[in-house]
Amino acid sequence: MKAVITDYYYESLEQEKKVFSDSGIELEAYQCKTEEEVIRAAGDCDALICQFAPITAKVIQALQKCRVIVRYAIGVDNIDLEAAGKKGIYVCNVPDYSLDEVSNHAVALLLDCAKKLTYLAGQVKRGESSYTVVKPLFRVEGKTLGLVGFGRIPQLVAKKMAGFGVNIISYDPLMNLEKAEKLHVRPVEFEELLQQSDYISVHCPLNDGTYHMFDRHVFGRMKEGVIFINTARGAIVKEEDLVWALQNRRIAMAGIDVTEVEPIPPEHPLLQLDNAVVTPHTAWYSEEAVASLQLKAAQEAARVLAGEKPKNPVNHPQF
């Protein structure tokens, strides 16, 4: 049996090599960027692990005997789930490798924006040291935080932000009511979240239903002066409308770790705004998270090739 890693940006694949070697599975690794490159590299594989390579319906149709596709990530938006399911291929993610990292990053962006720290630091470097440069600034305690999505990462955000004395509400069509009650989070409908939240933090997956979920119409219905945080996926937000909302101060500040095009072009309008803090999709990163991600991705692929069910399937293959 053979496993293929279509693309990766890690310094070493020693963990993957050991997992597959111990299971008697051959491993090949590439740096594919196009459908054609993926097909050439992985057409005869039994398991495929990918990072950013396009695993489209065309690619999946060309996979002769693949049984499982694992992505080095939580999101699987570069994989055609429907095509994989029809061909009887499991698609799996690694949902728990960076829960602490991403939740910390969301909290850090929120507090950075609430206290205008990045802006203040820039002003000091320019010789402006008065508090008046950030007026108005408001107290965090007593504000309302709205979480869009209530999976494991926003649950951790809720737990961490509770210590700052904020009220927490959440919208999720699949709301875990037991967890919400335990964390003192009040479930609400989307419209109420928009109207009540002083801070909005996005944690939902990217799919057909959430693509450009946040556009000019939604920003226009938010509470004036809201702080908007996105550590989920860039395409959940229509960026030109986010720029509009920031320019017109419909949104006071935005903390963004994910963009529609990555890396974000240096000339992008978001980078010209003093009320936007943009980081380069690094919320997931720590040395521990990288090691965990690589190991768990390989273990999941080897598990399926050993005849076991995967731990983290995101589709329902038709066998």
User: By the 8 A CB rule, do 154 and 202 touch?
Assistant: no
Q: Compute the radius of gyration of the chain from its Cα atoms.
A: 21
DSSP output for 232-279: S-GGGB-HHHHHHHHHTTSEEEEEES--SSSSPPTT-GGGG-TTEEE-
- Tell me the residue length of the chain: 319
Say which residue the tokens 């974000």 belong to: 264
CA-to-CA separations, 134 to 102, 119, 120, 253, in angstroms, rounded:
27, 8, 7, 12
Catalytic residues: 233, 262, 281
Strand-pair category, 226-230 with 251-256 = parallel
Contact, 307 vs 301, CB < 8 A? Answer: no
SS3 226: strand
Nearest partner of 153 among 188, 102, 119, 116, judged by Cα: 102
- Separation CA 249–CA 136 (nearest Å): 13
Query: CB neighbours of 307 closer than 8 A, spacing ≥ 6?
Result: none
Residue pair 41/16 in contact by the 8 Å Cβ criterion: no
Q: Across-strand partners of 29?
A: 5
